[in-house]
Amino acid sequence: MGMRGPFTGGHAVRAAKVTSMASQTPAHPAQEQQVPNAISMDELQLAARNHAMPLEALRYPITPAGLHYLLIHFDIPDGEAASFQLTIDGLVERPIVLSLADLQARPVVALPVTLECAGNGRALMEPRAISQPWLREAIGTAEWTGTPLAPILKEAGIRPGAVEIVFTGMDHGIQGGIEHDYQRSLSLDEALGDDVLLAYAMNGAPLAPQHGYPLRLIVPGWYGMTHVKWLRRITAVDTPFKGFQQAGTYLYQTSSDDPGVPVTRMVPRSLMEPPGYPDFMTRARFLHAGPCTLQGRAWSGLGLITRVEISTDGGQSWQDATLGESPSSSPYAWRPWTFDWQATPGTHDLCSRATDSAGNTQPLDIPWNVGGYMNNAVQHVPVTVS
């Protein structure tokens, strides 16, 4: 699984100066203002398109279609299976073109994988980067079915000198002032990982248009931007890829002068299915006194989840939750947890905190950064019990 701590995976800090997403986006009034607790119309436009997973859906080990989070940079392409071709080219001995039927005729792997947007929790930061304003629900776990990438790369024959593999989607638009097809790269080592898949099915059905139909990349353990949707081309290159989605964004910067470190794998996180029932507008939660089993799920891209702790007093004291099995025992899918609680009248601030096998634990405070990435701060679920 290539476990390792955050930022220690051998990524060189890029020499090129890169600035924040907000300052790179074309001049627009909304980008000039950073108003805590007031969302701009630009952000709302994105929030209307790109939906999170309602947290009651934590009850499902595999997220049903339509509840899995979505982040679509440009438009959903009008992908077509019949005419689809995947090209493997660049620094390879034998360029390959594969149809969807070719891919489906290859060895089949089905793997539950938890995905999370790198910007999950962005809108909880102050000030926040102006981009998709996620709260904390940009998550989902699907069973992805496809064929391993590594054997295809080996058949093509990666030539000496190749250092990265670039993945190109069909989606096209402008971001950071640059017109481009969506592209991301992986190091040769990462791309040749055993569990990297070319996926053509999700939860046993062909990919939905919004999830990459007909083909997408799955790189278990990595944040969502890596799992290139509407994948059409895989190219071996001899220099590190510097496209916008790789070098111009998805960087963890502690200040706008900081060149930043690429965002890669998911840091550990736990979320709770909010107990009781909600108020429509405020989403405040109400609950009747008595026994209540708190439950949720936890995941990490840096290791296996080894511990989840629960607090009912806002993080002052903690008790261990009981861990269950990941769906199909996948090391890349969230683990369920439960905690038996006696709900007493009054208000309570419920929290859960996950720790992984690499020793990473969720922080209580939000790890602020320029682009609003990797916010795995402990969730608070205030409830009123009567």
> Between residues 57 and 231, which has the closer beta carbon with respect to a copy of itself?
57
Binding residue for a copy of itself, selected from 65, 110, 150, 192, defined by CB under 8 A: 65
Residue 242 neighbours by CB distance under 10 Å: 12
Site string for a copy of itself, 286-325 (x = CB under 8 A): x---------------------------------------
Cβ–Cβ < 8 Å for 357, 306: yes
Touching a copy of itself, residues 113-132 (CB under 8 A): 123, 130-131
Output the DSSP codes for 89-126. EESBSS-EEE-HHHHHTS--EEEEEEEE-TTTTGGGSS
> Between residues 97 and 178, which has the closer beta carbon with respect to a copy of itself?
178
The answer to whether 173 contacts a copy of itself (rule: CB under 8 A) is yes
Q: Looking at 183-191, 204-212, 297-305, 339-347, which segment touches a copy of itself (CB under 8 A)? A: 204-212
Considering only CA atoms, which of 22, 16, 9, 23 is closest in space to residue 259? 16
Q: Looking at 41-49, 262-270, 305-313, 373-381, which segment touches a copy of itself (CB under 8 A)? A: 41-49
The answer to whether 155 contacts a copy of itself (rule: CB under 8 A) is no
Amino acid, single-letter form, for residue 232: R
Enclosing H/E stretch for 349: strand 346-356
Residues 6+ apart with CB under 8 A from 145: 108, 109, 110, 111, 199, 200, 201, 202, 204
The answer to whether 52 contacts a copy of itself (rule: CB under 8 A) is yes
d(CA 34, CA 277): 33
Give ∠ CA 137-290-269 in degrees, rounded to 5. Answer: 25
> Between residues 8 and 282, which has the closer beta carbon with respect to a copy of itself?
282
Instruction: Tell the smallest beta-carbon distance from residue 83 to a copy of itself (Å).
Output: 16
> Between residues 151 and 173, which has the closer beta carbon with respect to a copy of itself?
173
Size of the site for a copy of itself (CB under 8 A): 64
The answer to whether 42 contacts a copy of itself (rule: CB under 8 A) is yes
> Between residues 151 and 278, which has the closer beta carbon with respect to a copy of itself?
278
The answer to whether 174 contacts a copy of itself (rule: CB under 8 A) is yes
Paired residues of 235 in beta bridges: 89, 166
Instruction: Tell the smallest beta-carbon distance from residue 138 to a copy of itself (Å).
Output: 8
Binding residue for a copy of itself, selected from 283, 293, 317, 346, defined by CB under 8 A: 283
The answer to whether 265 contacts a copy of itself (rule: CB under 8 A) is no
The answer to whether 233 contacts a copy of itself (rule: CB under 8 A) is no
Structure tokens at 192: 């040749």
Sign of CA dihedral 300, 302, 308, 314: negative
Cβ–Cβ < 8 Å for 21, 34: no
Q: Looking at 209-217, 289-297, 299-307, 308-316, which segment touches a copy of itself (CB under 8 A)? A: 209-217
Q: b/e for 8-32, b at 16 or more Cβ within 10 A? A: ebeeeebeeebbbbbebbeeeebbe
Residues 6+ apart with CB under 8 A from 27: none
The answer to whether 14 contacts a copy of itself (rule: CB under 8 A) is no
Q: b/e for 260-295, b at 16 or more Cβ within 10 A? A: bbbbbbbbbbbbbbbbbeeeeeeeebebeeeebebb
Instruction: Tell the smallest beta-carbon distance from residue 191 to a copy of itself (Å).
Output: 26
Which positions lie near a copy of itself, rule CB under 8 A?
25-26, 28, 30-31, 35, 37-52, 54, 56-57, 59-60, 64-68, 70, 72-76, 78, 123, 130-131, 133-135, 137, 172-175, 179, 208-211, 274, 277-283, 286
